[in-house]
A and B are shown apart, each in its own frame.
Chain A
Amino acid sequence: MSRPLHPKKEIEAALSYAEEEGWRVKIGGSHAWGRIHCPYNDNECRCGEFCIASVWSTPGNPESHARALRRVVDRCSTHQRRGETEPKN
């Protein structure tokens, strides 16, 4: 896993957390730093719009943005249903 680190440490920690939970991090953008992609791309997934969530480069409140990213990962319904099991890649 060699990707550039996010300059804000709270956001980088949230991105690492998302990756541990199987999400993919993609880099690109200007105001945006990149995106996170939900690992479960199936019909039952109810993350909906937040299956792909944008990550800002320099949000006014990095702590708050990091919390929002973690919420999306934690709220993923397929993730909750599968509990401890690892996602299939």
Chain B
Amino acid sequence: MEYIFTLKYQLTDRDNEPDALVERLGAAGCDDALVGVGQPGRLALEFSREASSAKEAIHTALADVKSAIPSACLIEASPDLVGLTDVADIVGVSRQAMRKLMLAHRATFPIPVHEGSTSIWHLAEVLDWLEKRDGYQIDAGIVETARVALAVNVAKETLRHPVSGRGDMERLTA
């Protein structure tokens, strides 16, 4: 099936000429991605990739971008880190309804990655939580894609900041 996801990259100063990068991406088989070059030093690719699984789709896309632009550094795979408005759009309810649901279930709603004036969740966790409740029909492809995007983002962060004293941290925070 077709999986839709976005990969966002930081570009180096030496390798940031949009037209040249787009041509390299085209040659590397990324013509199933919409390439966004509207921000200096950034590159975003919204893939619509045919594959047998979300994992295959996202991992081959990461490999294709890396082969075209080895110096590009992944910032984020989407859909993963989302606010309530994003979740509401995906589920097909109003933001108010989503907020009400979250506030009514503060003890069981997935914990956010960040809480503040804008709070952020992992989409896969929120969709899993919603699926366990009645009345939410959520596209299986989006759930699968969100899980893989989460795995990619967590792996990327863990590589940047290796976890030390895992046992202790589990006891102290979970």
Contact = CB atoms under 8 A, between A and B. Distances in A.
A32 B19 contact: yes
A61 B50 CA distance: 10
Interface stretch (B39-47, B98-106, B142-150): B39-47
Contact of B31 (A28, A48, A60, A72): A60
Contacts of A59: 31-32
A50 B6 CA distance: 11
B48 A31 contact: no
Interface stretch (B22-30, B128-136, B152-160): B22-30
Contacts, number: 82
Interface string A49-82: 1111110101111001101110110000000000
B2 to A, nearest CB: 7
B95 interface: no
Given A54-B37, A61-B32, A49 B8 contact: yes
Contacts of B2: 64
A64 B151 CA distance: 26
A58 B32 CA distance: 10
Contact of B39 (A31, A48, A56): A48
B35 A53 contact: yes
Interface size class of B (residues with CB under 8 A): 20 to 34
B19 A49 contact: no
A38 interface: yes
Contact of B32 (A31, A35, A52, A60): A60
Nearest to B37: A52
Contacts of B44: 48-50
Please list the 4 inter-chain residue pairs (A to B) with the smallest Cβ-Cβ separation, ordered nearest first.
A31-B26, A51-B38, A49-B36, A49-B44
16 contacts: A29-B22, A30-B23, A31-B27, A47-B38, A48-B36, A48-B44, A49-B38, A52-B18, A53-B36, A54-B18, A54-B22, A59-B32, A60-B32, A65-B48, A69-B34, A72-B34
Given A29-B19, A53-B34, A67-B48, 4 more contacts: A50-B46, A59-B32, A60-B31, A61-B48
Interface of A: 28-32, 35, 38, 47-54, 56, 58-61, 64-65, 67-69, 71-72
